[in-house]
Amino acid sequence: MKRPQAQVAILQAADAQEDRRIDEVAEEAGLVPEAATRAAFELEADGLVTVSEETLEHYDLTEEGERYVRESLPEQDLYEAALDAGADESPVGMGEVIGASGLEGGAVDIALSNFARKGYGQIDSGEITADPDAAPGRDPEMHALEAVADGRAEDADADALDQLERRGLLDINEETVRSVRLTDDGVTALMEGVEVAETVDQLTPELLTSGEWEDVEFTEYNVEADAEDVPHGREHILRQTANRVKDTLVGMGFQEMEGPHVDAQFWINDCLFMPQDHPARTHWDQFALERPDEIHDLPEDLVERVRSAHKNGVGPDGEGYHSPWEESVARGLDLRGHTTSLSMRYLSGHEIGELEPPQRFFSVEKVYRNDTLDPTHLLEFFQIEGWVMAEDLSVRDLMGTFTEFYEQFGITDLEFKPHYNPYTEPSFELFGTHPETGEVVEVGNSGIFRDEVLSPLGVDCDVMAWGLSLERLLMLMYGFEDIRDVHGTLCDLELLRETEVMH
Ligand code: PHE
């Protein structure tokens, strides 16, 4: 008869009189254990061998167990010290005996509890009495420890082994061992002769056209074989969280804004009442574009109102900056350093027409800043921009909105700190606590837009607004400590694969 090579090896190694361990047969035949086991089961299915199974126990001393074998059990030390102190005659203060025993830290408790359990003596009202007849030298647990250490676990007392395991001195591990034995049919087959059949593991066009496929033996699929773990693509956790943020804001009644990543300084800075010669204007060190170097279309009437706000302020008592304001600067193009440029576009009516209060808008989009790279800063990040336009808004509304928003992400310990922005008054920075480091981390910036911003835009009610960092939110949610682990060229793929996304 013809059989696959592994089966032939098992058949030839098997015996009709005694069981042979499959792992040993596999080693002799140069087979991987899984292939040998599979072949044995295939032979068993054809009645040529029987497969039996046995569970073997392995005993391994823990580090602590090994130490006690080299030295002694803590309760033995305590007993020795108690005898030396005369505790077999009359009770001796516990402190004295422990001091003399040399036991320290956790070993003291271990010694005391086992001393009492084993009847080496009594411990009562802070005094120790030793039983002169106790024989710690014959301690069954010590004997069992020594037996295991010598590889003679079978000599050890079963109760003592259990006790050692309970004390964490011994690990008992189970191993399933399978063995084969030849059946009568197996013996007959061997006598008649068994040959190795060629097996084919791939069906080729040649096998098909030649018709040979009909005669060859195909390798069986081993559906239990360990397969290589091929990590599949999945949506980045930052993207998933961005989507969750969007859903949350839509759930809170917000509409989404869209707009250019490269925008005119006009929308990024000038509309926000940031003077052209003010350091605030460059405090993000924004990335400027060389080509094209300016935007073509700006709404002329709005440009004029913004220019006038910068020059003269707004309202009868308004004060401007009294500094130069050039339209050419306003036309300059930058990678946006915040998405407040989108808020300006929408509030001005430039994007979807004039808006009547109440209105709520948001975006979750990338912004770019020439920051120094560190664990909390990259050159780009996702900003959660948002604003609410309504008749009467106060700081309470702002705080309430944040509390409601962050609660949905499990963040309930927000803190607010007064802040300065050229475009909002009052302004607040938001902070949360990092779950791993306990550090207070800035998560966003917010405020109520000043008249100098709103009036040129033609908005005559209140608008509260904010820019929050999606990455910082992620850090608080998942405990990431370095933003560079999450995105950018240095990201930790393993970490990203393993992080369970919260929903
Ligand atoms: N633009 C601010 C920033 O990027 C955030 C902000 C937006 C603050 C709107 C107040 C109002 O930090």
Q: Domain 239-498 - what CATH class?
A: alpha beta
The interface predicted TM-score of the complex, written ipTM, equals 0.98
Q: 10 Å Cβ neighbour count for 57? A: 10
- Beta carbon of 476 within 6 Å of any ligand 1 atom: no
**173 CB neighbour count, 10 Å cutoff:** 9
Question: One-letter amino acid identity for 345?
Answer: R
The verdict on the CB of residue 445 being under 6 Å from ligand 1 is yes
CA 347 – CA 54 distance, rounded (Å):
77
pTM over 0.90: no
Rounded Cα distance, 189 and 187, in Å:
5
Phi then psi dihedrals of residue 181, to 5 deg: -140, 140
For the domain made up of 2-60+175-218, give the CATH fold. Answer: Arc Repressor Mutant, subunit A (1.10.10)
Distance (Å, whole) CA 221 – CA 57: 32
CA 284 to ligand 1: nearest atom: 4
* Biggest CA pair distance of the chain: 115
- Please give the Cα distance from 6 to 277 (Å, whole number): 83
Q: Which of 268, 339, 340, 381 has the most ligand 1 atoms within 8 A of CB, as the residue to mutate?
A: 340
Strands (E), 340-410: 359-368, 380-390
Distances (CA, A) of 226 to 24, 34, 43, 223: 21, 9, 22, 9
For residues 352 and 465, the answer to whether their CB atoms sit within 8 Å is no
Going from N- to C-terminal start, the domains of the chain cover 2-60+175-218, 64-161, 239-498
Extract the tokens encoding 138: 């014959």
> How far apart are the C-alpha atoms of 31 and 8, rounded to whole Å?
12
Strand pairing of 49-61 and 170-182?
antiparallel
Q: Which residues are annotated as a binding site for L-phenylalanine?
A: 340, 383-385, 423, 449
| Gap between the Cα atoms of 179 and 19, Å rounded | 6
Ligand 1, from 395, 431, 466: best to mutate by most atoms within 8 Å of Cβ? Answer: 466
> From the first residue on, what is the mean pLDDT of each consecutive set of 10 residues in the chain (503 residues)?
88 93 91 91 94 91 93 93 92 91 89 90 90 85 93 89 93 92 94 85 91 82 82 88 96 97 96 85 75 93 96 89 91 95 97 95 95 84 97 96 96 95 96 95 97 96 97 93 87 86 76
Q: Indicate whether residue 332 lines ligand 1 (CB < 6 A).
A: no
The answer, yes or no, to whether any atom of ligand 1 lies below 6 A from the CB of 422, is: no
pLDDT tens profile 467-491:
999 999 999 999 999 988 988 888 8
CA distance 221 to 390: 68
Res 214: pLDDT? 85
Is the CB of 466 inside a 6 Å radius of any atom of ligand 1?
yes
